[in-house]
């Protein structure tokens, strides 16, 4: 009882005490009084004449927590005067709204206001900011200081590093407040910072690399006036990694370099303003894939074509584009010269003079044209060019002199330059070029003096040795061995093998009669095109697109002096025959469309380390989903398909995607966004057959047993047979070779890259067609006439059989003259038992019992490579010959081999898994096939359990 009374009394007393104490903290009161006293128009505050701002009732514009002032909200009252210098003693402040007044004088320090979350000080007249202003602002979320003439001895002020401790800072707005110096590194690392507006200051320098991956959504750095260059500078490569960006304003600076290619990664970007900078180069196609609300590219030095932008508000005036309207391509010579410019990093003098779409019209510094308005001379000695020489110059067919002495050029002389048929003089003296020197025709005068890295030994006008494979070997969809990639443009090792001498040749049709097999290598002779040759009404100019190209695709140009003979070539394309009814295919492919974003993600943004191989159609990347599902992603080279109408491309994809066979690499999807053309294939873990035949030692692989080789031969034969006769339309592969035959984990072989030839551009003129194929595998009649039938594939298949038998590459200039062309040589030796035995791949464990089947394959190889197409067998015959040789071969029902075990409604990775599952368990597949006719799609869960045990 008594105890209770005491408690009650204590409670009452406490209550009274607290009432007394709850009058405003006297120190806070003093500061508020000083605040109003300093103002020349304090009356607008309407503060009452009492000493208790926290009240109740509290003073207008003041908010308290307990007896402490926590907020001052006086925005827009036009208050005039300074703030008290001990302002930071209002230590419980959480929210200060002083914006849009006329506060003047020194901004007091805010240091130690650790509870302060919001500080709006913008639109005032503060003169200076103390250097400890930001110290200890541990809770700061938003700070705005815009529009204050903050000066530090008239030189602007620097953002103190103290601010980095404000870990929750989300909005930092410091526009037009004389902020100087460089953009501090720490801002890029602030993990909460989403809005960074620093426009209209005196910043200089670049965007620091710390912004890599930053979560900033709004980054405004426009219109800086500081620094020697009056503004910010450097490249903007880092912004492409800032995937949260919605608004990027960089206008009115001196940013330079190219728009990063991966800018398309910025999926959320809505506003991009690059107006009035020093940007150069081509607008990356990926930029055109972004749906902008506004895009401003005005007043830079952009070149090349204007893409068709998706956004409505794109503006791009005052640049150096080749065309005035979006979507129009540049002339090929212009593109070639722009690539050259890219190689030498866009020297400003050339950038400003190389504009328009005709290098023979306008200034085009350093170029000289002939009367036919073709560039004949590149004359840029002592031009301070720094960088690499571009292979693209090989497309300037009329160039006879290239004078680039006394610059700072590095890297190699591109191998493609040997294709410059008019070239007389190449002077690259006084640079820093590296070997190898491509083998130019002896008529070309070379001046290579003063390049320390080039062998002073002039007789090395041939390429030095190369460890890499010959070019026809290095094209592969899934290879990524050092030896295979050595043939790529990026290789750094000197090569051991010589490049094929095939550079540019004309095969007069009149000689076709004698251009028979034995004479094959001989009859292709180096010479000049003969336009007016009377006995050769049609002549054929065959030249590889670029010898440094891993893939050595060749292009056939039919030079004709009578129309009729030329048109036969292009008339033979499959497309016209099947063009009707294409629309029905288009609608079928809706579900195959995969977003570029997804493909970027799984390939880690097409990272070089995911590169599996390169070919004439583009680069192939490995893609891996989070769940481990793998795909192969072929990113078509820009321009490869740009000449094709989109509809036609899609229609072709639709057709290809329907070609399903266990021995054909499946097309699983595709992307078309802007200029991106990406194809998605199943991933083949063992890579190309060529790796296992020719490079197994270097790669630490087991050599293929005879049994495996027979199996592979049969797989390929069945795949081809299907393409030729069993698919719903007849396909001709046109580029079958061991690097296009891919192996799965079980060494099951599949043919890749079929049908891609059709997607390649037809070329500039109707008389130019594209002859796909690789020397060594190319049927003679195809090489000569460009006419292609299924028998051209049969020929190539025969060559692959020879490779399987001998372990020798189809074409290898390292070998003695008579055996360079495997096919020609093999024909000579195949009928002699002794010679054949000697020719068998030493990696094969040769036993007498397999020799019989070896003879059978040798026979078949000869049959398939017969010189007359009609003497070669159909692929069905090859299947019949091979089947009995393959142990435990389980016959399949050919008619039902086409199946559609792909459920395109599933997400890509699940679709792949379902497909792998349908495929992986081969025997059960056969049974299912027999009983049900086609593979039903599996539920995703089932696929999961399968793939996890399978390890794929
Ligand atoms: C702020 O005050 C200064 C001087 O008192 C005056 O010149 C200026 O016009 C005022 N600015 C605004 C926005 O009221
Ligand atoms: C003002 O400038 C001086 C030297 O120029 C510098 O040391 C100081 O940190 C600057 N203060 C602020 C707040 O930027
Ligand atoms: C932060 O900045 C954004 C963008 O300017 C703005 O919409 C938002 O209101 C700001 N947040 C605060 C709390 O001021
Ligand atoms: C030449 O180029 C190299 C590398 O591209 C560069 O490091 C060097 O500074 C350049 N030299 C001159 C004189 O431009
Ligand atoms: C491809 O080759 C490069 C360099 O040779 C290597 O770094 C990379 O890991 C390889 N990628 C794959 C998928 O094997």
* Structural domains in the chain, sorted by start: 11-282 (3.80.10.10), 332-529 (3.80.10.10), 562-683 (3.30.200.20), 695-890 (1.10.510.10), 895-952 (no CATH)
Distance of CA 648 to the CA centre of its chain: 23
CA–CA distance, 461 with 620 (Å, rounded to integer): 33
Ligand 1 in reach of 78 Cβ (< 6 A): yes
Question: Closest Cα to residue 758, out of 733, 777, 782?
Answer: 733
Residue 297 three-state SS = coil
| DSSP-derived 3-state class of residue 554 | strand
Give the per-residue pLDDT at 255: 95
CA of 510 to the centre of ligand 2 (A): 85
- What is the rounded CA–CA span in Å between residue 682 and residue 803? 25
Ligand 3 mean position, distance from CA 171 (Å): 6
User: CB of 433 within 8 A of CB of 408?
Assistant: no
pLDDT at position 914, please? 64
Q: Is 386 in the pocket of ligand 4 (CB under 6 A)?
A: yes
Closest CA to 821 of 798, 841, 851, 843: 798
- What is the position in ligand 5's atom list of the atom closest to the CA of 610? 13
CA–CA gap between residue 405 and residue 319 (Å, rounded): 30
CA of 102 to the centre of ligand 1 (A): 6
Q: Which of 311, 270, 303, 312 is nearest to 284 (CA)?
A: 303
Distance between Cα 491 and ligand 5 center (Å)? 13
Residue nearest to atom 8 of ligand 5 (CA): 609
Query: Given this model, what pLDDT does residue 801 score?
Result: 96
Q: What integer pLDDT is reported at residue 903 of this predicted model?
A: 59
Report the pLDDT value the prediction gives residue 556, as an integer from 0 to 100.
Answer: 28
> 852: Cβ below 6 Å to ligand 5?
no
Name the residue of 158, 159, 178 whose CB sits within 8 Å of the most ligand 2 atoms, as the mutation to test its pocket: 158
Strands 218-220 and 386-388: unpaired
**Integer Cα distance of 537 and 524 in angstroms:** 17
What pLDDT, on a 0 to 100 scale, did the predictor assign at position 944?
A: 28
CB neighbours of residue 297 within 10 Å:
25
Nearest to 887 by CA among 750, 745, 714, 747: 714
CA distances (Å), origin 274, targets 172, 201, 294: 22, 17, 11
Tell me the helix, strand and coil percentages in the chain, rounded to 5. 35, 20, 50
Active site residue 735: yes
| 3-class SS of residue 834 | helix
DSSP 193: -
Which tokens belong to 671? 């992307």
pLDDT of residue 673: 76
Q: In DSSP terms, which residues pair with 681 in a beta bridge?
A: 632, 667
What is d(CA 159, CA 136) in angstroms, rounded to the nearest whole number?
Answer: 14
* C-alpha neighbours within 13 Å on the C-beta side of residue 861: 29
Residues sharing a CB contact under 8 Å with residue 456, sequence separation 6 or more, in sequence order:
none
Mark 141-151 as b/e (b = at least 16 C-beta within 10 Å).
bbbbbbbbebb
Which ligand is closest to the CA of 386, given by its number?
4
Question: According to the model, what pLDDT value does residue 728 have?
Answer: 63
And the tokens for 17? 């005490």
Q: Which two tokens stand for residue 490?
A: 């990026």
What pLDDT does 887 receive?
Answer: 61
Tell whether omega for the bond before 56 is within 30 degrees of 0, i.e. cis: yes
Q: Which atom of ligand 4 is nearest to the CA of 387?
A: 5
Ligand 2 center from residue 157 Cα (angstroms):
6
Pocket of ligand 2 (CB under 6 A): 129, 131, 152-153, 155, 157-158
Q: Who contacts 231 (Cβ-Cβ below 8 Å, separation ≥6)? A: 203, 204, 223, 224, 225, 252, 253, 254
Q: Containing H/E element for 613?
A: strand 611-615
Catalytic residue among 122, 546, 735, 753: 735
Q: Are 500 and 471 in contact (CB under 8 A)?
A: yes
At 68, list the tokens: 């402490």
Angle between helices 848-864 and 822-829 (to 10 degrees): 120
Q: Is the CB of 382 under 6 A from ligand 4?
A: no
pLDDT of residue 952: 30
Task: Collect the ranges in the chain with pLDDT lower than 50.
Answer: 13-20, 457-590, 760-770, 888-900, 920-952
Note the pLDDT of residue 243: 93
Cβ neighbours for 308, distance < 8 A, ≥ 6 positions apart: 288, 326, 327, 674
Cis peptide before 858 (omega within 30 of 0): no
Q: Is 913 annotated as a binding residue?
A: no
């Amino acid at each position: 009882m008594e105890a209770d009374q005491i408690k009650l009394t204590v409670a009452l007393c406490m209550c009274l005490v607290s009432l007394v104490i709850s009058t405003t903290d006297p120190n806070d009161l003093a500061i508020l009084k000083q605040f109003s006293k300093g103002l020349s128009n304090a009356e607008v505050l309407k503060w009452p004449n009492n000493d208790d701002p926290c009240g109740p009732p509290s003073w207008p514009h003041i908010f308290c927590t307990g007896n402490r002032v926590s907020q001052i909200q006086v925005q827009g009252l036009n208050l005039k005067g300074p703030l008290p210098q001990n302002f930071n003693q209002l230590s419980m402040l959480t929210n200060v709204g002083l914006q849009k007044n006329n506060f003047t004088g020194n901004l007091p320090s805010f240091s130690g206001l650790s509870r302060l979350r919001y500080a709006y000080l913008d639109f005032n007249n503060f003169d200076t900011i103390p250097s400890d202003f930001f110290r200890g602002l541990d809770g700061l979320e938003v700070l705005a200081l815009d529009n204050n003439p903050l000066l530090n001895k008239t030189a602007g002020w620097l953002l103190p590093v103290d601010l980095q401790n404000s870990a929750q800072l989300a909005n930092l707005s410091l526009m037009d407040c004389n902020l100087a110096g460089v953009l501090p590194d720490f801002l890029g690392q602030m993990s909460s910072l989403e809005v960074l507006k620093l426009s209209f200051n005196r910043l200089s320098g670049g965007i620091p690399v710390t912004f890599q991956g930053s979560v900033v959504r709004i980054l405004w750095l426009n219109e800086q006036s500081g620094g020697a260059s009056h503004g910010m500078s450097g490249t903007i490569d880092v912004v492409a990694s800032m995937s949260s960006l919605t608004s990027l304003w960089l206008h009115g600076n001196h940013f330079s370099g190219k728009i990063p290619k991966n800018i398309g990664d910025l999926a959320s970007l809505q506003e991009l303003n690059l107006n009035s900078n020093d940007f150069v180069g081509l607008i990356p196609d990926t930029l055109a894939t972004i749906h902008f609300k506004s895009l401003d590219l005005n007043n830079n030095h952009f070149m090349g074509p204007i893409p068709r932008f998706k956004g409505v508000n794109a503006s791009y005036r005052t640049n150096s584009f080749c065309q005035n309207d979006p979507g129009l391509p540049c002339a090929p010579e212009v593109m070639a010269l722009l690539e050259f410019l890219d190689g030498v990093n866009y020297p400003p003098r050339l950038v400003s003079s190389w504009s328009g779409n005709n290098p023979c019209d306008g200034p085009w510094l350093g170029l000289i044209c002939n009367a036919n308005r073709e560039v004949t001379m590149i004359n840029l000695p002592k031009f301070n060019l720094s960088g690499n020489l571009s292979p693209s110059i090989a497309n300037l067919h009329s160039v006879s002199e290239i004078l680039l002495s006394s610059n700072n050029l590095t890297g190699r002389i591109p191998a493609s330059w040997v294709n410059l048929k008019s070239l007389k003089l190449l002077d690259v003296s006084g640079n820093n070029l590296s070997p190898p020197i491509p083998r130019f025709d002896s008529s070309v005068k070379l001046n290579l003096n003063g390049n320390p890295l080039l062998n002073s030994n002039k007789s090395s006008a041939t390429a030095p040795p190369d460890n890499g494979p010959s070019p026809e070997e290095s094209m592969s969809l899934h290879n990524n061995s050092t030896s295979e990639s050595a043939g790529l443009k990026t290789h750094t090792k000197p090569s051991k093998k010589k490049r094929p001498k095939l550079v540019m040749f004309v095969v007069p049709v009149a000689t076709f009669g004698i251009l028979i097999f034995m004479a094959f290598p001989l009859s292709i002779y180096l010479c000049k095109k003969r336009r007016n040759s009377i006995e050769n009404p049609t002549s054929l100019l065959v030249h590889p697109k670029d010898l440094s190209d891993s893939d050595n695709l060749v292009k056939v140009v039919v030079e004709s002096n009578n129309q009729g003979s030329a048109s036969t070539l292009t008339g033979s394309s499959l497309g016209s025959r099947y063009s009707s009814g294409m629309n029905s295919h288009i609608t079928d492919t809706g579900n195959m469309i995969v977003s570029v974003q997804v493909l970027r993600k799984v390939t880690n943004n097409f990272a070089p380390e995911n590169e599996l191989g390169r070919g004439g159609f583009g680069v192939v990347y490995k893609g891996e989903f989070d769940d481990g599902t793998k795909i192969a992603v072929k990113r078509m080279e820009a321009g490869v398909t740009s000449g094709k109408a989109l509809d036609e491309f899609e229609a072709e994809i639709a057709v290809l995607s329907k070609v399903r066979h266990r021995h054909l690499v499946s097309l699983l999807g595709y992307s078309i966004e802007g200029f991106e053309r990406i194809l998605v294939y199943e991933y083949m873990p063992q890579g190309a057959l060529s790796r296992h035949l020719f490079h197994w030692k270097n790669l630490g692989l087991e050599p293929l047993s005879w049994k495996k080789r027979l199996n592979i031969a049969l797989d390929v034969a069945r795949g081809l047979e299907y393409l030729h006769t069993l698919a719903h339309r007849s396909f001709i592969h046109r580029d079958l070779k061991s690097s296009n035959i891919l192996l799965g984990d079980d060494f099951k072989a599949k043919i890749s890259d079929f049908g891609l030839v059709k997607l390649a551009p037809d070329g500039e003129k109707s008389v130019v067609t594209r002859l796909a194929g690789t020397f060594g595998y190319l049927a003679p009649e195809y090489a000569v006439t460009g006419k292609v039938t299924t028998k051209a594939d049969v020929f190539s298949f025969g060559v692959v059989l020879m490779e399987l038998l001998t372990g020798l590459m189809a074409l290898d200039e390292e070998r003695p003259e008579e055996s360079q062309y495997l096919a020609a040589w093999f024909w000579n030796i195949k009928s002699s038992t002794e010679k054949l035995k000697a020719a068998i791949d030493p990696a094969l464990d040769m036993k007498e019992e397999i020799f019989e089947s070896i003879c059978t394959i040798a026979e078949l190889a000869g049959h398939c490579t017969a010189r007359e197409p009609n003497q070669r067998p159909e692929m069905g015959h090859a299947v019949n010959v091979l089947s009995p040789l393959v142990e435990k071969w389980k016959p399949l029902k050919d008619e039902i081999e086409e199946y559609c075990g792909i459920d395109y409604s599933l997400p890509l990775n699940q679709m792949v898994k379902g497909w792998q599952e349908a495929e992986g368990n081969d025997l059960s597949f056969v049974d299912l096939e027999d009983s049900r006719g086609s593979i039903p799609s599996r539920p995703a869960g089932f696929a999961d359990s399968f793939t996890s045990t399978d390890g794929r």
